[in-house]
């Protein structure tokens, strides 16, 4: 089974802090994604990556950056956390040959005070 893990289930940070959310997948998938999920808005794509050191902006990249130094790991960085970044963050991975089927991690619920 594909396993996607996220470093924290719950995280509390203060405004202005630098925040790192880590995601690791164990199935050698080429593609990795970061979404945020908010009530009434569904899932929105922040960034994705289709190869090591490659990244592409999604629909809402402002205030975020990403890093992919190794194939299995995709990090989401909030350079200076703000209260409007309080949300559920979901990581996913996929393999192009699998009709882009995405497999999700359990999510990180981030609260920025």
CB 87 within 8 A of CB 37: yes
In the stretch 51-90, what mask flags binding to another protein with x, by CB under 8 A? -----x-x-------------------------------x
Is 31 a binding residue for another protein by CB under 8 A? The answer is: yes
Computed on alpha carbons and rounded to an integer, the radius of gyration of the chain in Å comes to: 13
Distance CA(99)–CA(20), nearest Å, equals 30
Question: Among 11, 22, 50, 63, which residue interacts with another protein (rule: CB under 8 A)?
Answer: 50
- Give the Cα separation of 6 and 92 in Å (integer): 10
Residues found near another protein in the complex (CB under 8 A):
4, 30-31, 33, 35, 40-43, 45, 48-50, 56, 58, 90, 92, 94, 96, 99-107, 109
């Amino acid at each position: 089974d594909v396993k996607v893990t996220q470093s924290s289930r719950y995280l509390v940070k203060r405004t202005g802090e630098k925040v790192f959310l880590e995601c690791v997948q164990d199935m050698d998938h080429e593609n990795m994604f970061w979404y945020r999920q908010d009530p009434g808005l569904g899932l929105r794509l922040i960034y994705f990556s289709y190869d090591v050191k490659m990244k592409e902006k999604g629909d809402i990249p402002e205030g975020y950056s990403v890093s992919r130094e190794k194939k299995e790991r995709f990090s989401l960085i909030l350079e200076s956390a703000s209260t409007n970044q309080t949300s559920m963050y979901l990581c996913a991975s996929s393999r192009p040959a699998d009709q882009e089927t995405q497999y999700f991690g359990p999510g990180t619920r981030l609260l920025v005070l």
